[in-house]
Amino acid sequence: MLVGTKFSKDFGDDDTIIELLELPLDDTMNYRG
């Protein structure tokens, strides 16, 4: 997952991204483009 790989450097966990944005996984990937 590109989103996970990109943010893994900043947040360290894909789950953290979802919690921060408070969006479903699909919406998160679409949000990041």
The pLDDT of residue 1 is 46
The pLDDT of residue 28 is 56
> Which residue range is the domain that position 10 belongs to?
2-32
From CA 32, how far away is CA 25, in angstroms rounded? Answer: 11
Q: What are the structure tokens assigned to 25, written together?
A: 């996984």
**Long-range contacts from 24-32, C-beta under 8 angstroms, 24+ separation:** 28/3, 29/1, 29/3, 32/2, 32/3, 32/6
Tracing tokens 């900043």 back to the chain, one arrives at 10
Q: How many distinct structural domains can be found in the chain?
A: 1
Mean pLDDT by 10 residues, the chain (33 residues): 55 59 60 53
